[in-house]
Amino acid sequence: MVEGETRKYGLFLGCVIPNRYPFIESSIRNVFDHLDIDLIDLPGASCCPAPGVFRAFHIPSWLVIAARNISIAEELGVDIVTGCNGCFGTLRDSWIELQHDYDLKKEINEHLSKVGRSFKGTSEPKHIAQVLYQDLGLDFIKDHIKHKFSNLNVAIHYGCHIAKPSDKRPWGGECEDPRFLDEIIELTGAKSVEYKDKMLCCGAGGSVRSAIKEVSLDFTREKLGNMKDAGADAVITACPFCHLQLDLGQFEVNNVFKEEIGEPFKIPVIYLTQLLGLAMGIDPNLLGLVKNHDLGGVPPFISIEPFLNIVKEQLIMEVK
């Protein structure tokens, strides 16, 4: 990235972030602002729509809605960026498919013309990790790191849609053993621990959480067990739906599988930009890491205090 250059992206929030995890939005906005990146709201944006639901039932409807969302960013002359793996999967898959199939693009635009819109393909859908890793680069981010958390071991959860299908992702075909999130996270000094079946689904995807809850939670139970065995102090996510499954789902696993697991899981779940923001010296309140209310039934469902205590200890050591 050229020094002094201000980049602009259209921020696509999707459904889960504003409805369930608004602090993820706060952390994304504040980290990107700290990096001098303008995030522009996309007026009228809808559900992406969800790849595991809409695409499974009616692909033309899925494509029309996705193309409409992308067209909003095209009108603003910016690439579209999202912090959700599912939204990333839908928007990027549809963007690529419509660019390479003229007849399909023509058909979709005929539908869009009814609401005064058209898809051109000029706005590339990106994940925030792609912006951090490829558009800005590790050296640029490294220059903004103020604190190193060397005594922090984290288990990184990639999720499914961020890396697959590999031919529609920007990672050079790597999908079985990606490293881009590990490299971003390790700029903070945290150690990304290797654990069994690291690329295993969180359990929520493909509507499994809605359709067969216990099967969904069994995936989560296995994943959490592998993370615990590896000595993880926290889970790092890059998707709000995965975040929900590993946070709320962890609480549910502790109840549904209490006899199998024995001691309840209590691994804090932290979003990518929350950890990055702390390392950049951003106020934890702005990153959604400080709970200043007594409301029940709202996230985080698993206490993040153990994670914050590790961070506080290292900050105190820095001062000394």
Residues 124 and 164 in one domain: no
Residues 123 and 256 in one domain: no
In total, how many domains does the chain have? Answer: 2
Residue 142 domain-assigned? no
> Which domain, by its residues, includes 250?
147-319
Residue 62 domain-assigned? yes
* Residue where a domain terminates, one of 79, 99, 128: 128
Q: Does the structure show a pLDDT above 80 at 281?
A: yes
Residues 112 and 194 in one domain: no
Residue 307's CATH number = 3.40.50.11810
In this prediction, residue 276 carries a pLDDT of 98
In this prediction, residue 294 carries a pLDDT of 81
Question: Would you state the structure tokens that stand for residue 234, as one six-digit string?
Answer: 């926290």
Cβ partners under 8 Å of residue 284, min gap 6: 278, 290, 308
Q: What would the pLDDT profile of 138-178 be if each residue is shown by its tens digit?
A: 999 999 999 999 999 999 999 999 999 999 999 998 788 99
Integer Cα distance of 199 and 211 in angstroms: 22
DSSP labels, 230-296: TT-SEEEES-HHHHHHHHHHHHHHHHHTHHHH-SPP---EEEHHHHHHHHTT--TTTTT-------S
Integer Cα distance of 192 and 186 in angstroms: 7
Residues 215 and 307 in one domain: yes
Residue 141 domain-assigned? no
Residues 234 and 299 in one domain: yes
% of the chain surpassing 70 pLDDT: 98
Phi-psi category of 165—alpha, beta or left, where left has phi over 0 and alpha has psi -120 to 50? Answer: beta
Q: What would the pLDDT profile of 78-101 be if each residue is shown by its tens digit?
A: 999 999 999 999 999 999 999 999
Task: Note the pTM of the prediction, 2 decimals.
Answer: 0.96
